[in-house]
């Protein structure tokens, strides 16, 4: 029988222990500002394969590599002027860049799913940064949950989903952003591959022009592109304007006083993003068999664009 994950404190002792577990080729979940990540040494084939096994993640779905600073990222990928501008403006932060992979990167090919590009991020969370510094190398880390289910924003969510499949969890409290990073591809033109915790408007202002939207294709070219994803067990119905009969209603804004839970009674998109996955989990636990979760309309700008992306994927037909 597998042992439950070791819970580690977010202090020097806990981070040193977590870094040691990573060096042993085992899996460690840790908080970032977006969601909890499931980390493995990105250079270790067996360790990276363990991520896919623990999550039940398709092998064709590439992983994001987390790094302590932009210098470490430049050792792995080829940066152009636009990549430099975005990294200088938004790293550390909730931005993932998909860039050409250097042939001498030493990453496991499982990380990139055999693609010539790699997804890189420098997180802005003291625990994540402390762990990356203590480990001293690249850490592949998708969200620390079973593939396709609701992403974890607290250590307890990780334990609920993966507690006996991973070695350790660093408990750093609730993730402040609450939705995954924004992913931008630069191969070579800037393309929005996934809206997320950094508003698209900020990226476009930095670049001085709009981000392109990728053509619809069945091929996965970056993390977070599966059509059905981030889903609770209950069906999700977005854009519901009034309390529906027979459904649990997840509200947004002051007009939703009858909602079972409200992402933000004041209509604050930052608060709503931070609450999204936790509230979906809570309503999923409350839902009777066959009872859906209906969600109030969310403005489609700023972090609302990321929230609506997650809700569309949660509502998509399950694979």
Q: What is the pLDDT of residues 10-32, one digit of tens each?
A: 999 999 999 999 999 999 999 99
- pLDDT grade for 229, boundaries at 50, 70 and 90: low
Sketch out the chain's domains with CATH numbers. Answer: 6-207 (3.90.870.10), 236-315 (3.40.50.11030)
CA angle 42, 48, 51 (to 5 degrees): 125
Q: How far is CA 292 from CA 166, 232, 282, 286, in A?
A: 31, 10, 13, 10
315 or 217, which is more confident? 315
* Cα 260 from Cα 142, distance rounded (Å): 30
Mean pLDDT of the chain: 92
Q: Give 239-279 pLDDT, tens digit per residue.
A: 999 888 899 999 999 999 899 999 999 999 999 999 999 99
- pLDDT grade for 305, boundaries at 50, 70 and 90: very high
Query: What does the pLDDT read at residue 188?
Result: 79
Contacts 24+ apart (CB under 8 A), 279-286: 279/250, 280/150, 280/232, 280/236, 280/250, 280/314, 281/150, 281/157, 281/232, 283/232, 283/234, 283/248, 283/250, 284/150, 284/232, 284/233, 284/234, 286/248, 286/260
* 59 exposure class (CB count in 10 Å sphere: 0-12, 13-18, 19+): exposed
Question: How do strand 168-170 and strand 248-251 relate by DSSP bridges?
Answer: unpaired
Q: What is the pTM of this model?
A: 0.91
* Cα 130 from Cα 221, distance rounded (Å): 30
* Mean of pLDDT values over 51-56: 92
Is 1's pLDDT higher than 80? no
Torsion angle, alpha carbons of 147, 153, 154, 157, to 10? -30
First to last CA, the chain: 29
């Amino acid at each position: 029988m597998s042992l439950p994950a070791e819970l580690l404190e977010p202090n020097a002792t806990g981070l040193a222990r977590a870094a040691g577990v990573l060096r042993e080729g085992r899996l460690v979940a840790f908080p970032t500002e977006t969601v909890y990540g499931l980390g493995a040494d990105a250079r270790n084939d067996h360790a990276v394969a363990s991520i896919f096994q623990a999550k039940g993640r398709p092998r064709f779905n590439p992983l994001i590599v987390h790094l302590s600073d932009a210098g470490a990222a430049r050792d792995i990928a080829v940066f152009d002027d636009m990549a430099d501008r975005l990294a200088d403006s938004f790293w550390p932060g909730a931005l993932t860049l998909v860039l050409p992979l250097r042939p001498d990167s030493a990453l496991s090919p499982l990380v990139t799913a055999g693609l010539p590009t790699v997804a890189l991020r420098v997180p802005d969370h003291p625990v994540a940064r402390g762990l990356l510094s203590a480990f001293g190398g690249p850490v592949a880390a998708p969200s620390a949950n079973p593939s396709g289910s609701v992403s974890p924003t607290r250590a307890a969510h990780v334990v609920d989903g993966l507690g006996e499949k991973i070695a350790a969890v660093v408990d750093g409290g609730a993730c402040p952003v609450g939705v995954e990073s924004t992913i931008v591809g630069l191969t070579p033109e800037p393309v929005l591959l996934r809206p997320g915790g950094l508003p698209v408007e900020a990226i476009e202002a930095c670049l001085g022009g709009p981000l392109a939207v990728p053509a619809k294709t069945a091929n996965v070219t970056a993390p977070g592109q599966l059509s059905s994803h981030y889903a609770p067990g209950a069906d999700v119905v977005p854009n519901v304007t009034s309390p529906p009969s027979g459904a649990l209603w997840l509200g947004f804004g002051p007009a939703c006083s009858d909602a079972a839970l409200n992402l933000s009674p004041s209509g604050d998109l930052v608060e709503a993003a931070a609450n999204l996955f936790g509230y979906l989990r809570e309503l999923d636990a409350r839902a009777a068999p066959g009872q859906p979760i209906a969600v109030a309309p969310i403005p489609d700008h700023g972090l609302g664009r990321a929230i609506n992306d997650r809700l569309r994927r949660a509502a998509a037909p399950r694979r």
